Amino acid sequence: MKTLLEYIDSKENEMLEFLARLVNIDCGTYDKAGVDQVGDILAERLAALDFDVQRDPQEKFGDHVIGTKPGGGNQHILFIGHMDTVFPAGTVPKRPFRIEGDRAFGPGVVDMKGGITCLLYALEALQNAAPETYRQIAMDVVFNSDEEVLSPTSTPLIARFAKQAQAACVFEPARPGGEYVIQRKGVGKYILTVAGRAAHAGAQPEDGRSAIEELAHKVIALHALTDAATGTNVNVGVIRGGERPNVVAAEAYAEIDIRVADQPTAQAIDRRIREIAAASTVPDTTCELSGGLQFPPMLPTPESTRLFETLQKAGRAIGLDLRAVATGGGSDGNHAAQFTPTIDGMGPQGGGAHSDREYIEIATLAERAKVTALFLAEWSNVQKRQG
């Protein structure tokens, strides 16, 4: 154990330099060139860690980077991290990586370039300081390019690797108090398009059928579905409609985000959304609805609880009392957890994700790498005992 920790301690400055290198690349989800540039760096690091590296080519998004490493025993684990951020091209020149006191700032620094850095250096520590353990564990790594838009092309990839793994670790950032994540709400996205009839708003308003008015009724009904008692959140986050203020709107559009605690609730909310879409308050308007649940709920299981207990043991070895929480946000852990015990929030601590205030607590970069390395060593021993 001491050797593992000493190795990571010796790499702290290098870890920060590597993180800066990743952060200083614009790689918003739709910036394919930028995401692929990050993918090139990560592919090179995985190859140095004895992984066979493949690309899953994408046209719209960056290529997914997949690493596979065989093991010598009955141990098979999956690691997941996303390369994309929510920030458009041109963000890095405006606010590149910088350090202020105990924090580092920059686009994607905690969500989730910090987590990717923790993973790579934890694996490097095992490879160099505990080589026999490293050889024993079969590992798969999926670095995907589209998580920030709900992983439309990488979900089947994650499912395929999760089905063959005994456990999965997702390197999203830690929660605000450093907690790991063992439960996430399901996440859905719907799109409503309302069609009405245009008319002159002053001369002949009676000839018009306002799509905006119809959508307004639907928005109120949709928000009324939010229910704290069942952990349900429905949010109409985007609306558009009309062309001019003196024209009765012929079209209106809305994007709806839902968060649900479990699958029965998801099904009930889906039914209600479809009923609201089908109902009409303004005569002669019509509505089209698309979308649905995209991240299924991630629920704790006895197996995932035992997996987290192994992680807690690793934390105690360096004086940390690790805790796990439920969160309303979704991640690729939602997908992996449908097939294998999963721990999420393996990345470092920070805050301000998806904003110009995004930061990482620098000390937790090495700390979480240490916990991950110790966890893998302990998990390997548990698998050996279970034979």
pLDDT, one tens digit per residue, over 218-277 is 999 999 999 999 999 999 999 999 999 999 999 999 999 999 999 999 999 999 999 999
Q: Which domains does the chain have, with CATH numbers?
A: 2-184+297-386 (3.40.630.10), 186-295 (3.30.70.360)
Task: Mark residue 142 as left, alpha or beta (left: phi above 0; alpha: psi -120 to 50; beta: remaining).
Answer: beta
Beta-bridge partners for 233 = 259
Q: What is the largest CA-CA distance in the chain?
A: 83
**Residue 385: predicted pLDDT:** 82
385 or 287, higher pLDDT: 287
pLDDT digits (tens, 9 = 90+) for 159-216: 999 999 999 999 999 999 999 999 999 999 999 999 999 999 999 999 999 999 999 9
pTM as predicted: 0.93
DSSP, residue by residue, 171-187: -PPPPTTS-EEEEE-EE
**Residue 131: predicted pLDDT:** 97
Report d(CA 351, CA 359) in Å as an integer.
6
Query: What average pLDDT does this structure show over 317-328?
Result: 96
**Residue 384: predicted pLDDT:** 86
**Residue 125: predicted pLDDT:** 98
Query: What average pLDDT does this structure show over 303-307?
Result: 97
Residues in the chain: 387
pLDDT digits (tens, 9 = 90+) for 26-71: 999 999 999 999 999 999 999 999 999 999 999 999 999 999 999 9
Average pLDDT in the chain: 97
Amino acid at 320: L
The order of strands in the sheet holding 103-105 is 98-100, 103-105, 359-361, 350-351
Which of 114, 132, 134, 116 shows the shortest CA–CA distance to 124?
A: 134
Strand ranges, E, within 131-174: 138-144, 167-170
- pLDDT confidence bin for 386, thresholds 50/70/90: confident
The DSSP letter of residue 18 is: H
**Residue 73: predicted pLDDT:** 81
**Residue 387: predicted pLDDT:** 66
**Residue 1: predicted pLDDT:** 65
pLDDT over 90 at 312, yes or no: yes
Report d(CA 264, CA 232) in Å as an integer.
12
**Residue 43: predicted pLDDT:** 98
**Residue 68: predicted pLDDT:** 98
2 or 151, higher pLDDT: 151
